[in-house]
Structure 1
Amino acid sequence: MRVIICGGGVIGACTAYFLRRHGVDVVVVERTEVAAAASGKAGGFLARDWCAGTPLDALARRSFALHAQLSGQIAGDWGYRPMTAYSGFVASDGDPRRDAPCALGWLANGVVVAQRIGTTETTAIVHPRKFTSAVMNAALAQGAELRVGRVTSIVRDADGTTTKGVEIDGNVIEADAVVIAMGPWSLLAAQWMTLPAVYGQRSPSIVYETGTNVPADALFLEYEGDDGAVSIEVFPRADGSTHITALSDIAPLPIDPAAVTPDTGAIARLQAMSERLSPLFRPEKIIAQQACFRPVTQDGLPLIGRVPRSDGLYVATGHNVWGILNAPATGEALAQLIAEGAARDVDLSPFDPARLEPLDPSLLQAH
């Protein structure tokens, strides 16, 4: 059996890895490079039970456990480490707590830590680009193939119901099954198949070099600015960098992932907020100013499973803020579905692509 995976992000990498463990021949097709988009620029925060009470709960718990297992099974260092998470807020000018020392010594006065919301048993972090690359390299070491190219269509049999492969830059590659795992760019595949809409939500971020000065404390803070409250997230990583993000917005999705750029105004605001949080976040310590587009669906749940009315065609996208967390369990479940006919560890029915209305392909052609 041969499977083509369209997309070299974290979902594609994990799917390739688990398919190879089933002995399935795998070809990954990536337009630019592995982890080129959100899989390389996300925060990498992991939480075991933050999806409790939602359809994502079982997927998240399974995937959180897989992250811990993979850190001991796959070669490479991608900065997996358990961490503590806190919620809180930044006291505004005029607030009596503005000059009060923070309970966490590395933060500035007036940063109020309200409560602990994650422990080293329930929260962790990875460096997303390093994780994605390590998993992809593990798949390649097991015999998977990586090709750089742009998927231009799905190849079907004469009656149009069975998938036979893909066309890449004009060349046909045959396969028994095809997986669409292109993040928000999975939207482009609606030209060739029955697929619900996938949107891109842009998230700017700044990465600082902080060395050993910042402990493994993730922060989820409310920041009261001139134009209202803003949620800001701070993720210290094992490699001595700290990822800070806020101010997500809806923006046009570039056709080419390499063309994604942050909004300069959002970056300036984020930098000002970061400098308020800690003296460690100084301009000369900035490693990267960037943005990524998270894939989101109409109901907020991912699309994982068979594409309706298309034998041998599968999709895995729309994971929103939990893409890095839920990639291992998504890849594992999809590999089981393709190789064995059903997912064993996670019920994929809440993520069935058929639950949502398909996008009208003419809307894409018009743009």
Structure 2
Amino acid sequence: MATDTSQPRNIVIIGGGIIGCTTAYFLTRHPAFNPAIHKITLIEAQSIASGASGKAGGLLALWAYPANIVPLSYRLHAELAKEHDGPKRWGYRTVHCGSVTAKGKLYDVGKKEAVVAGTDEWKKLPKTVKGKAPPVPTEIPKELDWFDHDTIKTYSVMGTPETTAQVHPYLFTTSMAELAVEKGVEVILGLVTALDYTGPNGIKGVTYEDKATKHIHTLSATDVVVAAGPWANHVFPEAPIEAIRAHSVVIKADVSANAVFTEIDLPKDFGIKDSSGTKRRKHGKTVNPELYARPDGTIYACGEGDYAVPLPKTSDLVVCDTSRCDDIHAYLSTISPTIRDSEVVAKQACYLPLVLSGGGPIIGETGIRGLLLASGHTCWGIQNGPATGKLMSEFIFEGGAKSAHIDSLDPQNVIQTILQMPLEFQNRMAHTIDTSIDTKLAPLARSAAAVQSKLNNLSGLQIASNELFIKNILETTQETSNTIRDHSLEVQAKTSSLHRSVDQMNTLIESVSYLLQGLTAAQQSPTFSRDTTEVQAAASGLWRGLWLIISSLYVLVRAFM
């Protein structure tokens, strides 16, 4: 759909990570951008690159995913580096990339303590598409002399300097923001608390709380881009996004320009003694830390993902479990004496955005006029940031994506796919809970399936009888509220280890309560049943609330899988 770029536009971008900053950058570089009539505002809750965009690895690869935007983004990275002196400004360079399988060994453990907590199952953050053929083993490169070659079983090439590069993610993201500001973008530090709708199918602005003053402000908008990463569904509840926590460390060591993916069989007696002399449990596991050497004389290394702590309200509240960071250093120390003897200069954690249905990211229009969504980039956010930013600028100024075919990334398709998930899948979730967690939780998944079925029926209703329509919605919502409340009490009585889940369910109960109160009050209005617009607006709001409940239940179930 074509857009009239001669008219004034107030464009608001929510999120100061790589997606929001590249969107701001490419909007100001679009041929149709006119600073005299086009106002661009970027709202960030804490500071630019304060989330995953400042704590990522920064790997760029032509073999990343999804294939429909990777080549565009990889090319844009090279062009941006050339135009803005990327090698100097944000550490852009091409690198070799490979994977190793190794048998770790203990060096002199008496000289250096390692803190290893470990987990039963390594939640690997996928870097390649499932089903892709593994790389062919070859001889380990000579420049990897900072590895103990006696521990390496195989080495395989994953990428060359023609197909693989890197940037420093914090420097790249903040540079994109600075370059956007130079062209007129305004950055506001504040927490978006609400999207302001004009009826059920249009956006008219955002409401936010200023970070410094705590004052509430409303900003009018013709276009709103939700680029809030894992916080996308905090702003836009329909966003089918969940969050996974990831830890990383930065190690001070000047080594060759290589990115290495590892598969390490830990030594049999990997139970290292702690400072009190108590021996930790033995490890006989395989772990998969990744490491990227940087041009500033450091090595970035990251570990597994986890769902142990729910996503906090803002990035400054992210909890870093330092024992998981110590794990990463300890694992790599079994195959690299250089890493073992080097100082860890940073321990950090962040949350990555995942699309609930898998795959991702999702980029494009939401079905609500003027509201666009760009999130779910998993561990390839830095890699795919430039392409996403360019495509979002095309959606706003040209009415659609022009630089890549991204129908498969359409948010509306993804949302509908999730809303229409077969009941068999949700029953499988219930079975997983039945067999591995707690039979008391199984009805939650079945409840989600029941609500899903009723929502599917409701979505096909014609508003011929408004009173019957509202009655059906009220009954569905009440049933959901009762089910969640009953099982929340059961879970509370079951075990203290489920407190986090109880908190999530109590939040859902409160949400349902507010929905019921609001809709009941509206139904009692003497004009309500005669005002179709009011019915549609109320139904739209309730649909958003119920979707939030279902997606939250999904995340809750995932936490126990």
2:72 paired with 1:15: no
- Residue matched to 1:343: 401
8 A Cα contact 2:195 2:236, kept in partner: no
For residues 315 and 64 of structure 2, the distance between their equivalents in structure 1, rounded to whole angstroms, comes to 29
2:285 paired with 1:228: yes
Cα separation, partners in 2 of 1:102 and 1:334, compared to 1, 3 Å = closer
Matches within 5 A, 1:77-96: 77-92=89-104
For residues 39 and 80 of structure 1, the distance between their equivalents in structure 2, rounded to whole angstroms, comes to 15
User: Cα offset for 1:284?
Assistant: 5.6
- Residue matched to 1:323: 381
User: Cα offset for 1:31?
Assistant: 0.5
- Residue matched to 2:241: 198
8 A Cα contact 2:232 2:239, kept in partner: no
- Residue matched to 2:68: 58
2:175 paired with 1:117: no
Cα separation, partners in 2 of 1:155 and 1:50, compared to 1, 3 Å = closer
Q: Which amino acid aligns with 1:249?
A: D
- Residue matched to 1:164: 204
> Larger relative CO (CA 8 A, sep 6+): 1 or 2?
1
8 A Cα contact 1:86 1:113, kept in partner: no
- Residue matched to 1:98: none
- Aligned residue for 2:194, secondary structure, equals strand
- Choose between structure 1 and 2: higher strand proportion: 1
- Residue matched to 1:238: 295
Q: Which has the larger radius of gyration?
A: 2
Q: RMSD of the alignment, in Å?
A: 2.1
For residues 552 and 169 of structure 2, the distance between their equivalents in structure 1, rounded to whole angstroms, comes to 33
User: Cα offset for 1:209?
Assistant: 1.4
User: Cα offset for 1:330?
Assistant: 0.4
Render the CA deviation track for 1:280-325: whole Å, top value 9, x for unaligned. 22466211011111100122211111112x1000010000011100
- Aligned residue for 1:164, secondary structure, equals strand
User: Cα offset for 1:231?
Assistant: 1.2
- Residue matched to 1:97: none
Cα separation, partners in 2 of 1:120 and 1:162, compared to 1, 3 Å = same
- Choose between structure 1 and 2: higher helix proportion: 2
2:348 paired with 1:302: no
Question: 169, 177, 180: which is aligned to 1:136?
Answer: 177
8 A Cα contact 1:26 1:145, kept in partner: yes
Deviates more, 1:256-265 or 1:126-135: 256-265
TM-score norm. by structure 2 comes to: 0.60
User: Cα offset for 1:145?
Assistant: 0.5
8 A Cα contact 2:68 2:406, kept in partner: no
For residues 163 and 49 of structure 1, the distance between their equivalents in structure 2, rounded to whole angstroms, comes to 37
2:48 paired with 1:34: yes
- Residue matched to 2:276: none
- Aligned residue for 1:247, secondary structure, equals strand
- Aligned residue for 2:50, secondary structure, equals coil
Deviates more, 1:7-16 or 1:228-237: 228-237
8 A Cα contact 2:246 2:350, kept in partner: yes
For residues 44 and 54 of structure 2, the distance between their equivalents in structure 1, rounded to whole angstroms, comes to 14
- Aligned residue for 2:28, secondary structure, equals helix
Deviates more, 1:233-242 or 1:140-149: 233-242
8 A Cα contact 2:22 2:385, kept in partner: yes
Identity %: 34
Cα separation, partners in 2 of 1:188 and 1:142, compared to 1, 3 Å = same
Q: Which amino acid aligns with 2:187?
A: L
Render the CA deviation track for 1:84-139: whole Å, top value 9, x for unaligned. 00111121459xxxxxx985212124134522111000000100000000011000
Q: Which amino acid aligns with 2:361?
A: P
User: Cα offset for 1:9?
Assistant: 0.2
For residues 201 and 63 of structure 2, the distance between their equivalents in structure 1, rounded to whole angstroms, comes to 40
- Residue matched to 2:228: 182
Question: Which contiguous aligned blocks of 4+ residues in structure 1 show a shift greater than 6 angstroms?
Answer: 364-367
Deviates more, 1:337-346 or 1:272-281: 272-281
User: Cα offset for 1:190?
Assistant: 3.2
Render the CA deviation track for 1:143-181: whole Å, top value 9, x for unaligned. 101000010111122x23221111112211111100001
Q: Which amino acid aligns with 1:179?
A: V
Render the CA deviation track for 1:221-280: whole Å, top value 9, x for unaligned. 101132422111110111111101112212311112111122233222112112223222
TM-score norm. by structure 1 comes to: 0.90
Q: Which amino acid aligns with 2:24?
A: A
Cα separation, partners in 2 of 1:284 and 1:106, compared to 1, 3 Å = closer
For residues 287 and 403 of structure 2, the distance between their equivalents in structure 1, rounded to whole angstroms, comes to 37
- Residue matched to 2:459: none
8 A Cα contact 1:75 1:134, kept in partner: no
For residues 113 and 25 of structure 1, the distance between their equivalents in structure 2, rounded to whole angstroms, comes to 54
- Aligned residue for 1:281, secondary structure, equals helix
2:252 paired with 1:209: yes
Cα separation, partners in 2 of 1:289 and 1:131, compared to 1, 3 Å = same
